[in-house]
Chain A
Amino acid sequence: MKQPPIIEVHNLTVLYGRKPALWNIDFDLPEKQVIGIMGPNGSGKSTLLKSIMGVVTPTSGFTKVYDQSLNNVRDRVSYVPQRQDIDWDFPASVWEIVAMGRYQKRGLFKKLTTEDQDIITDSLEKVNMLGYAKRQISQLSGGQQQRVFLARAIAQQGDLFLMDEPFAGVDIATEEMIISLLKDMKEAGKTLVIVHHDLHTAQSYFDHLVLLNTRLIASGPTEEVFTDQILTDTYGGKLTTISKISQELENKEFPIRHK
């Protein structure tokens, strides 16, 4: 018997006003893999993640997680929203933010137990941020902010992780840390679904890819779908523009540097 898919998306359409963000998307995702969701800006990657997490209500179609409605399995799913959506000048400490990952299990009206505190400590340790627990979040760098968000998701102790652009605007040390963390999590049997925008790293990071451009272009094992034809279908003319620009930049390296 084939394993049931961990996420099913059926005929999903999301309209913002009259403009479609996602149009008739239909795919299944396998368990215990690192899965990338890719596509150009405005192709509906975040909207797809938000629909699966119940943050955005679909105009039509539905999604299932573990073959059920999300409401029944919410405690098995951890979510990392996009870092840029949050006001990082909010007066709160790193510890308080990661503690939010425990609110669901403990309920909003009970005090966190010592077990919760151990889990929070452990989550901070996993992202090398334990030394920053008391730090105010306004004092963090972009990479540190991302680590805090990851720690919060780890503290949720899900089996399925949905992450919205965890690599956007982070330093190299953080990127490497996240990659090794993802490897550990995959080995521990977790499933990771990651919205990603960097084509250069896609092949090395992901086992499975979903390519989106408002419509679904392709979904399958990376070696099968990471082809020139599919990438051109996904990025259209934009891909050639981007590669032209990067070529141009490489040709005249650091053109604006003066003495």
Chain B
Amino acid sequence: MNDFYTILTASLVAINCALMGGFLMMRKMVMIGDAISHAVLPGIFVAYYISGSTASLPILAGAAFSGILATLMIEWFTKKARLQSDAAIGISYTLLFAIGIILISKWGQNADLDQQCVLYGEIEQISFWLQPIAFGIVLPKQTVILLAVAVLLIGAVIWGYKGLFITTFDPDFALSTGVAVTFWHYFLMSGVSLTTVVSFESVGAILVIAFLSGPPAIAYLLTEDFKKMLILACLVGILCSIGGYYTAKWLDVSVAGAISTFIGLVFMIVFIGTSVLKRKVDVIST
């Protein structure tokens, strides 16, 4: 059953990240996920320090708070200080992450928090937190949260598809027709924050970024229809979770590391495969 819980958890993270990552990639801001997943550290520590526990709810609230702080900081640096968006992302999240590290190294010695866990997660131990849900179904606590977020995000993407689509493709045109571009920006950012915050606790920041950027990039190479791209990205993420998990078991290495590597390898293979195929088509058509 451990296999099942781990793969289910990774797959849910994959779905959440693929949906958000697809839009982020087309907006050229995937690294905002990177920023948020690191910037949550000070919020988590403060929440832990105040509440004195590692219970999920205060930790999530703290993480969400510093995640939002990070998006606002990035927005402020790009709009008001006219900084390049990638520079703004770099400055904001390294600052917040570093503050988190200082706080933990000074006051968090005996805490049940460590930087390792934030970066690499603890997906192998996910089944330690099993609890009964309903009708005799038993699931790890974090998996339940991820499932709820997945349902929420799928609903949000279906509900707001046109708004997200038009503001991603052509924000100027959207603005000219009276679409609230800023609303859709923060709508997406809230989704990204939520995804990162609930995902990193179980799989770690590195795997969150791998899931945000890899599967959408692979799907982008395979289809030219945005809706199909989102669905395909979810499927690719799930397949990489399964493939990565069994690779990790087989080689006895970190699951998060194996899944990330697996995503990278699949990208390389698909990239080479599509380039070869394209060249063949070009030769035939000329």
Q: In the complex the two chains form, what is the Cα distance from A216 to B215 in whole Å? A: 50
Asked if A92 CB lies within 8 Å of chain B CBs, one says yes
Q: Is the CB of A100 within 8 A of B173?
A: yes
A interface residues, tally (CB under 8 Å)? 28
Asked if A104 CB lies within 8 Å of chain B CBs, one says yes
Q: Shortest 9 CB-CB distances between A and B: which pairs?
A: A136-B224, A79-B176, A53-B176, A104-B177, A108-B162, A91-B224, A91-B226, A108-B163, A81-B172
Stretch touching chain B among A26-34, A82-90, A246-254: A82-90
Question: In the assembled complex, which residues on chain B have CB atoms less than 8 Å from the CB atom of A100?
Answer: 166, 169-170, 173
A63 to chain B, nearest CB (A): 13
Q: Is the CB of A103 within 8 A of B177?
A: yes
Given A54-B175, A55-B175, A74-B178: A81 touches B166 (CB 8 Å cut-off):
no
Asked if A93 CB lies within 8 Å of chain B CBs, one says yes
Q: In the complex the two chains form, what is the Cα distance from A156 to B176 in whole Å? A: 11
B19 to chain A, nearest CB (A): 15
Asked if B26 CB lies within 8 Å of chain A CBs, one says yes
Question: In the assembled complex, which residues on chain A have CB atoms less than 8 Å from the CB atom of B225?
Answer: 91-93, 136
Question: In the assembled complex, which residues on chain B have CB atoms less than 8 Å from the CB atom of A229?
Answer: none
Q: Is the CB of A90 within 8 A of B26?
A: yes
Most buried by B among A71, A103, A136, A152: A103
Q: In the complex the two chains form, what is the Cα distance from A71 to B165 in whole Å? A: 22
Among candidates B160, B166, B177, B224, residue contacting A138 with C-beta atoms closer than 8 Å: B224
Q: Is the CB of A91 within 8 A of B166?
A: no
Among candidates A17, A53, A85, A97, residue contacting B82 with C-beta atoms closer than 8 Å: A17
A–B complex contacts, Cβ < 8 Å, 6 sampled = A55-B175, A71-B178, A74-B176, A81-B176, A91-B226, A109-B162
Q: Which residues from 187 to 235 on chain B have a C-beta closer than 8 Å to any C-beta of chain A? A: 220, 223-226, 228-229
Q: Chain B, interface size: which category? A: 20 to 34
Q: CB-CB contacts of A47-64 with B at 8 A, as 1s and 0s? A: 000100111000000000
Q: Is the CB of A50 within 8 A of B170?
A: no
Given A86-B170, A103-B166, A109-B162: A91 touches B220 (CB 8 Å cut-off):
yes
Q: In the complex the two chains form, what is the Cα distance from A141 to B71 in whole Å? A: 37
Q: In the complex the two chains form, what is the Cα distance from A93 to B173 in whole Å? A: 17
Question: In the assembled complex, which residues on chain B have CB atoms less than 8 Å from the CB atom of A96?
Answer: 165, 226
Nearest A residue to B230 via CB reads A91
Q: In the complex the two chains form, what is the Cα distance from A203 to B163 in whole Å? A: 41
Q: In the complex the two chains form, what is the Cα distance from A108 to B164 in whole Å? A: 10
B246 to chain A, nearest CB (A): 31
Q: Is the CB of B175 within 8 A of A103?
A: no
Nearest B residue to A80 via CB reads B173
If A81-B172, A86-B170 are given as contacts, then 4 extra A-B residue pairs at C-beta distance below 8 Å, sorted by A number, are: A91-B224, A91-B228, A103-B166, A156-B177
Q: Which residues from 155 to 209 on chain A have a C-beta closer than 8 Å to any C-beta of chain B? A: 156
A46 to chain B, nearest CB (A): 10
Q: Is the CB of A74 within 8 A of B177?
A: yes
Most buried by A among B170, B223, B225: B170
A180 to chain B, nearest CB (A): 24
Q: Is the CB of B169 within 8 A of A85?
A: no
Q: Is the CB of B176 within 8 A of A54?
A: yes
B126 to chain A, nearest CB (A): 34
Nearest A residue to B166 via CB reads A100
Q: In the complex the two chains form, what is the Cα distance from A97 to B165 in whole Å? A: 10
Asked if B159 CB lies within 8 Å of chain A CBs, one says yes
Q: Is the CB of B179 within 8 A of A81?
A: no
